[in-house]
Amino acid sequence: MPADAMEKVVNLCKRRGFVFPGSEIYGGLGASLDYGPLGVELKRNVKDAWWRAVVTGRDDVVGLDCAVIMHPRVWEASGHIAGFTDPLVDCKKCKQRFRADQIQTTVCPECGGELTEARQFNLMFKTFVGPMEDTAHVAYLRPETAQGMFVNFKNVVETARLKLPFGIAQTGRSFRNEITPGNFLFRTREFEQMELEFFVRPGDDDRWFDHWREERMRWYVELGIRAENLRERPHGADELAHYAKGCVDIEYRFPFGWSELEGIANRTDFDLKRHAEFSGRDLSYFDEEKRERFLPFVIEPAAGVDRSLLAFLVDAFDEEVVEGEARIVLRLHPRLAPYKAAVYPLLRKEGQPERARSIYDALRRHFAADYDQAGSIGRRYRRQDEVGTPFGITVDHETMRDGTVTLRERDSMRQVRLPEDRLIDELRTRIGNA
């Protein structure tokens, strides 16, 4: 991967409307990013692919969508109020703040000024519920979606009539007041998660931990990430959270180094036990067959939407020279591509635009598509290659005569002719379960 790969992806994102700097007309807001028209499609496709693989494609997982602002006791029980902190030092001279564990010097790395003693800085965003700004009304924006599944465990078990093992999954925004965000979409203060809490009988946990490690690794590979750019990194005993029995990160080889896309943890019965204790409610599970009551263990695959999306983009980005001209192509999996196909009239006359438009209208009923009649056909192909559109359909004089169109493949640039009325079936087959 070239050294400037990140810069090229960031430029493409801005230029083509995948990702914009947040609040740009006001000078931006540190590490805040907005998804543009193509980015929002890509992001939806990433989440849909996850939802299909983890929820609707299985018979043992159900979904949930819970509130961002939860009862503050949730964060006491989860340990976030006491322990979700980073050590912070202040420069007495320039007033900048740094993470104590990320600077090597004993003086300010910016100005050489004297630093304060390290103190713990909580990463949760604080706010107030209602008009009173006092301690009784403090609340937090959730730093993870996982707690929603634990808090609703009883509700889900009772209403969905589930038997172990089963999972509860949710995607949604989380918020962390990071001291040092960065690397574009990789670390932002507001981000989206895709989390599954998979509840199992204690004793079955190791087996399910391995199951989810394999499932989740396969997901990235099936959606087009090259296996050599992925690895598993087991956590050492020293970095394991106190409640976790085991944890493995799935890492991607970003241009800025191997970094975590997803963590898969065996959280034991820690969370249900803590919520039972703090809420005073019985959160145990009753096994009808064995006539046993116990707290299930939980296996948690927790992935980041934005950082997976970034990995898909980086891995798909390619530059090549075709017939003496540079071609930028995003080799995105068709299921992730914002547009599945683009339709072009070869000429802006002889009824070709109208014919192309009617094909475009028909396609749009089945999948996201684009229409382009501006500029040379070569330029139009390049524009779509750059945003990852896997198929191009061209209407030309032959179309007007015999009803056939050309279908061009993004990656090989090969073209085949086929009858217009076979187009939708052909695209369906090629896109797969899109």
Binding residues vs Zn ion (CB under 5 A): 91, 93-94, 108, 110-111, 113
The nearest distance, CB 115 to Zn ion, in angstroms, is: 8
Q: How do 246-254 and 325-330 pair as beta strands?
A: unpaired
The nearest distance, CB 302 to Zn ion, in angstroms, is: 36
Residue among 94 and 400 whose Cβ is closer to Zn ion: 94
The nearest distance, CB 97 to Zn ion, in angstroms, is: 10
Residue among 116 and 159 whose Cβ is closer to Zn ion: 116
Residue among 110 and 320 whose Cβ is closer to Zn ion: 110
The nearest distance, CB 180 to Zn ion, in angstroms, is: 15
Residue among 110 and 277 whose Cβ is closer to Zn ion: 110
Residue among 87 and 255 whose Cβ is closer to Zn ion: 87
How distant is the alpha carbon of residue 65 from its chain centre? 16
Torsion of CA 87, 22, 337, 250, to 10 degrees: 0
Query: How far is Cα 76 from Cα 73, in angstroms, rounded to an integer?
Result: 5
The length of the chain is 434
The nearest distance, CB 101 to Zn ion, in angstroms, is: 18
Residue among 108 and 387 whose Cβ is closer to Zn ion: 108
The nearest distance, CB 54 to Zn ion, in angstroms, is: 46
The nearest distance, CB 110 to Zn ion, in angstroms, is: 5
Residue among 110 and 402 whose Cβ is closer to Zn ion: 110
Which residues touch 11 (CB under 8 Å, ≥6 apart)?
Answer: none
The nearest distance, CB 413 to Zn ion, in angstroms, is: 54
Residue among 23 and 180 whose Cβ is closer to Zn ion: 180
Residue among 113 and 224 whose Cβ is closer to Zn ion: 113
Query: How far is Cα 372 from Cα 357, in angstroms, rounded to an integer?
Result: 9
3-state secondary structure the chain: CCCCHHHHHHHHHHHHCCEEECCHHHCCCCCCEEECHHHHHHHHHHHHHHHHHHHHCCCCEEECCCCCEECHHHHHHCCHHHHCEEEEEEECCCCCEEEHHHCCCCECCCCCCEECCCEEEECCCEEECCCCCCHHHEEEECCCCHHHHHHCHHHHHHHHCCCCCEEEEEEEEEECCCCCCECCCCECCEEEEEEEEEEECCCCHHHHHHHHHHHHHHHHHHCCCCHHHEEEEECCCCCCCCCCCEEEEEEEEECCEEEEEEEEEEEECHHHHHHHHHHCCCCCEEECCCCEEECCEEEEEEEEHHHHHHHHHHHHEEEEEECCEEEEEECCCCCCCCCCEEEEECCCCCCHHHHHHHHHHHHHCCCCEEECCCCCHHHHHHHHHHCCCCEEEEECHHHHHHCEEEEEECCCCCEEEEEHHHHHHHHHHHHCCC
Residue among 101 and 319 whose Cβ is closer to Zn ion: 101
The nearest distance, CB 113 to Zn ion, in angstroms, is: 4
Query: How far is Cα 283 from Cα 345, in angstroms, rounded to an integer?
Result: 62
Residue among 101 and 114 whose Cβ is closer to Zn ion: 114
The nearest distance, CB 178 to Zn ion, in angstroms, is: 20
The nearest distance, CB 196 to Zn ion, in angstroms, is: 43
